[in-house]
Structure 1
Amino acid sequence: MRERILQAVATEVGYRGLKFSIRDITSKLGISSKTLYQQFDSKESLVLALVKQSIEEMRAAEAAIREDISLTTLEKLKQALIILPGGIAMKDVRLLDELRSGYPEAWKCADEYMREGWSGIRSMVDEGVEQGVLKEFSFDLFVQMYIGSMYRLIEYQVSQNGEMTFKEGITQVVNILLEGICKDKSDYK
């Protein structure tokens, strides 16, 4: 039952964002509110469970990328950095803004993952440095730049009514972080 409820919540979030109601979920599933509340004690706990599920999906996707032998280390790193926020955003950047403003426990969980869930990325970076495709750099600073860029991109997206998709924006951020902005590195001195 718990999985059915979470699936219904994910569907409703896709349609309505986080403004869905418990009644929307119960009527969609043909269950009573009591049945739902036996599984989840509040709407916040539903949203928190969805965020945790999203984080687990991102971890699985990152692991699959790391294990893909057809990709170079740099390709793995780039793909992992692009998918990282996608799961939390649940495919729509406005949801992150709603999450931040209306669901403190769920936001705390998502934010904690964004700040601390970097072990897989770190291992890809270490591998890239070891292979000589990446130079030595401050990983902690890189993480802070990525997180800061992502959060600023969220604010920009919301204020600009989505002139570019979040994925387009985060892809550009990752390209700049990994490749810089110079066309020819020999011109940069």
Structure 2
Amino acid sequence: MSEIDKTINATLKLELKERIVTAAMKAFTKAGIRGVTMDDIASDLGISKRTLYETFKDKEALLIECVKQQEKEKEAFGAKLVAESDNVLEVILKFYKVSIEIYQKIDKRFFEDIKKYPKVNELIKESREKNKCNVIAFLKSGVDQGIFRGDVNFEIVDILVKEQIEFMLNAEIMGAYSFFEVYESIVITFLRGISTQKGQIILEKFITDFRKHREEKI
């Protein structure tokens, strides 16, 4: 095989891999991981089961690639928000709006099922630990901007917020209240607690405008 043929073959394999990951993630978040078989994914893409297994040895290997892709997209989106925003709070609030739309499209079964894959959970844990210092440094920069209070231990805050969101995604509370009500209570309460008067003004304006816009859409 010539070098040109090898390049073409590698490109086609990469394109196929990306197609599979995109289709799989869409299916997993819609019906839960256990509710989707490798046969389902192959059928949706119009490829053979053999081709699918030649690309990914099993569902967990495929799920790992889905999570990696999701992390890359999240990182790129975060960098874009930082570049386009005036301060830390603006970045968080923009991300909050987008994350609401994303979470509401994900079936609860996805979060329940993903815990049953040890390698995937280890990957998620490693990713969080890797980004922990960057997240804390990002929050601390809000102190320099006069947005966040300087007497806050952001390491503890980071842990508490992640734990609350994890609890929200797996608790019975989601049966009694809407996703939006619970998620808003976690994020807005957290932001109110760490914001200075300057930050409070920005936050309350966002809340008023955001809720008005949601009511108009409903």
TM-score of the aligned structures, taking structure 1 as reference length: 0.79
**What do the CA deviations read for 1:42-84 (whole angstroms, capped 9, x no partner)?**
1101111111111111111211111113x43212133446767
- Report the structure number with the largest CA radius of gyration: 2
Q: Which residue of 2 aligns with 1:169?
A: 182
Q: Which residue of 1 aligns with 2:163?
A: 148
Distance 2:143 2:23 in 1: 44
- SS of the residue corresponding to residue 122 of structure 2 reads helix
**What do the CA deviations read for 1:87-141 (whole angstroms, capped 9, x no partner)?**
79973443122101x2121122223333442344334322211122211221110
Comparing 123-132 with 30-39, greater Cα deviation is found at 123-132
Distance 2:136 2:97 in 1: 15
Structure 2, unpaired ranges of 5+? 1-15, 201-218
CA separation of 1:78 and 1:121: change in aligned 2, threshold 3 A: farther
Is contact 1:88-1:96 (8 Å) kept?
no
1:64 matched to 2:77: no
Distance 1:82 1:119 in 2: 24
- SS of the residue corresponding to residue 112 of structure 2 reads helix
Aligned-residue offset at 1:22: 0.7
Q: Which residue of 2 aligns with 1:4?
A: 19
CA separation of 1:87 and 1:121: change in aligned 2, threshold 3 A: farther
Aligned-residue offset at 1:159: 5.8
Q: Pick the aligned partner of 1:30 from 24, 46, 53.
A: 46
CA separation of 1:160 and 1:12: change in aligned 2, threshold 3 A: same
Q: Pick the aligned partner of 1:132 from 131, 136, 146.
A: 146
Is contact 2:87-2:145 (8 Å) kept?
no
Distance 2:100 2:126 in 1: 12
Q: Which residue of 2 aligns with 1:110?
A: 124
Comparing 34-43 with 73-82, greater Cα deviation is found at 73-82
Q: Letter of the aligned partner of 1:20 in structure 2?
A: V
TM-score of the aligned structures, taking structure 2 as reference length: 0.70
RMSD over aligned Cα atoms: 3.0
Distance 2:21 2:68 in 1: 11
Identity of aligned residues (%): 23
Is contact 2:174-2:182 (8 Å) kept?
no
Distance 1:40 1:85 in 2: 31
Q: Letter of the aligned partner of 2:23 in structure 1?
A: A
Distance 1:95 1:116 in 2: 24
Is contact 2:108-2:169 (8 Å) kept?
yes
CA separation of 1:141 and 1:125: change in aligned 2, threshold 3 A: same
CA separation of 1:29 and 1:55: change in aligned 2, threshold 3 A: same
1:41 matched to 2:57: yes
Q: Pick the aligned partner of 2:31 from 16, 41, 45.
A: 16
Q: Which residue of 1 aligns with 2:191?
A: 178
